[in-house]
């Protein structure tokens, strides 16, 4: 599972947009009947799970995600279906990712029918409440960036740096050959750093999708207003990333603690490797299983409920 973010730009719906939307509707809708917004589904940067899509994988995902439904918290119930993607394409920015490659991201356009019941979700998107999104897809290969083998069976560890003879290189999983795209969903904490809804900034009648675009357009200018906007975006983004990482790290520590308790014979380093490889959804599911209602009572704990109170009379004062 990978994550992204929405681009809440006050979209102007084109004739091409409405024609594409009507490919998925039972009757033809007009422009006044739909709300359209753009979103970043994923990119070719290493994410918080130390995984990344290749440019070729993004191209395949662009086709697979067309027509896919957007839901809440990956709940597939019909009443949780909110929107549908009607267009998907690759966008290449004039910057590099952490590996020195051209930074590419998968941009989608989605629509929501304007109804009384959809007013709330539309307002939440416009106000920035519904911002981060997560995608579910299936890939055929997860290759180790260090050795090129299946990362689930090689001896390298995601997130750990290895010396390649010249430099320390971060180990991550390369996601190749997407097979299917299931759905996308609004979530609280995305895995990919640059995933979620993007606000639009206006300057000299130009629109900027996010901080990356602002950097590109303002790097050779001394525009105080634009740089102030850029500073605020990056500051807010860093705060959100910090909160998200702390939250996930706390989840990992909690799961590590419970796994160590229930598996005392396992080496702590082994358990840590397991928890470090888990994504947000896996950690959340494990935490549910480790809830108080599911905790196993220690065999050494005395059962006071069944103990005969007369056994303790001699200590009564």
Residue whose C-alpha is closest to residue 89's, from 71, 103, 109? 109
What's the pLDDT at 8? 52
Q: Quote the tokens at residue 224.
A: 């105080």
Q: Domain check: are 120 and 226 in the same one?
A: no
Q: Residue 172, class by beta-carbon neighbours within 10 Å (0-12 exposed, 13-18 middle, 19+ buried)?
A: buried
Q: Domain check: are 163 and 254 in the same one?
A: no
Q: Domain check: are 221 and 286 in the same one?
A: yes
Separation CA 240–CA 173 (nearest Å): 24
Q: Domain check: are 15 and 160 in the same one?
A: yes
Contact (Cβ atoms closer than 8 angstroms) between residue 133 and residue 8: no
Query: 116 in a domain, yes or no?
Result: yes
What's the pLDDT at 112? 94
Query: 11 in a domain, yes or no?
Result: yes
H or E element in which residue 19 lies: helix 15-21
Q: Domain check: are 179 and 277 in the same one?
A: no
Where are any strands of DSSP class E within 152-288? 161-163, 168-170, 173-186, 196-197, 201-203, 206-208
What's the pLDDT at 9? 60
pLDDT in tens, the chain (317 residues): 466 777 756 578 999 999 999 999 999 999 999 999 999 999 999 988 899 999 999 999 999 999 999 988 766 665 668 899 999 999 999 999 999 999 999 999 999 999 998 999 999 888 888 888 888 889 999 999 999 999 989 999 999 999 888 889 999 999 999 999 988 888 765 544 454 443 333 333 344 444 455 555 555 444 555 666 666 667 777 767 777 777 788 888 888 888 777 777 777 778 787 778 777 777 777 777 776 545 444 444 444 444 444 444 444 44
Q: How far apart are the first and last CA of the chain?
A: 61
Contact (Cβ atoms closer than 8 angstroms) between residue 203 and residue 225: yes
Q: Domain check: are 114 and 241 in the same one?
A: no
Separation CA 30–CA 21 (nearest Å): 10
Query: 304 in a domain, yes or no?
Result: no
* β-pairing verdict for 206-208 and 83-96: unpaired
Query: 310 in a domain, yes or no?
Result: no
Q: Domain check: are 195 and 218 in the same one?
A: no
Query: 18 in a domain, yes or no?
Result: yes
Domain count across the chain: 2
Q: Is 159 helix (H, G, I), strand (E, B) or coil?
A: coil
CA-angle at 252, arms to 257 and 268, nearest 5°: 45
Q: Domain check: are 40 and 178 in the same one?
A: yes
Residue whose C-alpha is closest to residue 58's, from 131, 108, 96? 108
Q: Structural domain of residue 258, as residue ranges?
A: 211-295
Query: 302 in a domain, yes or no?
Result: no
Query: 38 in a domain, yes or no?
Result: yes
What's the pLDDT at 3? 65
Looking at 199, 231, 255, which one is the last position of a domain? Answer: 199
Residue with tokens 């790097």, as numbered in its chain: 219
Q: Domain check: are 102 and 215 in the same one?
A: no
Distances, alpha carbon 113 to alpha carbons 15, 168, 281, in Å: 16, 50, 29
What's the pLDDT at 300? 43
pTM reported for the whole predicted model: 0.59
Query: 92 in a domain, yes or no?
Result: yes
Q: Domain check: are 171 and 220 in the same one?
A: no
Q: Quote the tokens at residue 157.
A: 């560890």
* β-pairing verdict for 83-96 and 161-163: unpaired
* Helix pair angle (268-276, 224-262), 10° resolution: 140
Q: Domain check: are 175 and 222 in the same one?
A: no
Contact (Cβ atoms closer than 8 angstroms) between residue 37 and residue 7: yes
163: Cβ–Cβ under 8 A, 6 or more apart, which residues? 169
Separation CA 118–CA 112 (nearest Å): 7
């Amino acid at each position: 599972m990978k994550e992204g973010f929405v681009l809440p730009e006050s979209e102007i719906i084109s004739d091409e947009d409405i024609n594409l939307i009507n490919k998925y509707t039972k009757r033809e809708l007009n422009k006044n009947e739909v709300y359209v917004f753009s979103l970043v589904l994923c990119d070719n940067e290493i994410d918080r799970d130390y995984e990344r899509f290749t440019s070729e994988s993004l191209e395949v995902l662009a086709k697979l995600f067309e027509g896919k439904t957007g839901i809440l918290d990956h709940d597939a119930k019909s009443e949780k279906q909110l929107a549908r993607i009607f267009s998907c394409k690759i966008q290449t920015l004039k910057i590099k990712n952490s590996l020195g490659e051209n930074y590419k991201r998968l941009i989608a356009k989605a629509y929501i029918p304007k109804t009384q019941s959809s007013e709330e979700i539309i307002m939440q998107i416009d106000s920035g409440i519904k911002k981060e999104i997560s995608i579910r897809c299936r890939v055929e290969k997860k290759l180790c960036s260090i050795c090129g083998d299946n990362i689930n069976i090689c001896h390298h560890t995601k997130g750990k740096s290895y010396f390649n003879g010249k430099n320390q290189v971060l180990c991550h999983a390369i996601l190749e050959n997407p097979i299917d795209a299931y759905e996308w969903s609004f979530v609280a904490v995305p895995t990919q750093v640059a995933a979620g809804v993007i606000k639009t900034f206006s300057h000299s009648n130009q629109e900027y999708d996010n901080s990356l675009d602002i950097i590109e357009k303002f790097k050779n200018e001394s525009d105080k207003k634009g740089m102030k906007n850029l500073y605020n975006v990056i500051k807010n983004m860093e705060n959100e990333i910090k909160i998200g990482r702390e939250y996930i790290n706390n989840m990992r520590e909690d799961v590590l603690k419970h796994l160590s308790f229930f598996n005392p014979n396992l080496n702590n380093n082994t358990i840590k490797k397991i928890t470090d490889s888990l994504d947000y959804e896996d950690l959340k599911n494990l935490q549910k299983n480790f809830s108080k209602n599911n905790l196993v009572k220690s065999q050494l704990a005395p059962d006071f409920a069944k103990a005969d109170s007369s056994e303790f009379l001699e200590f009564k004062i």
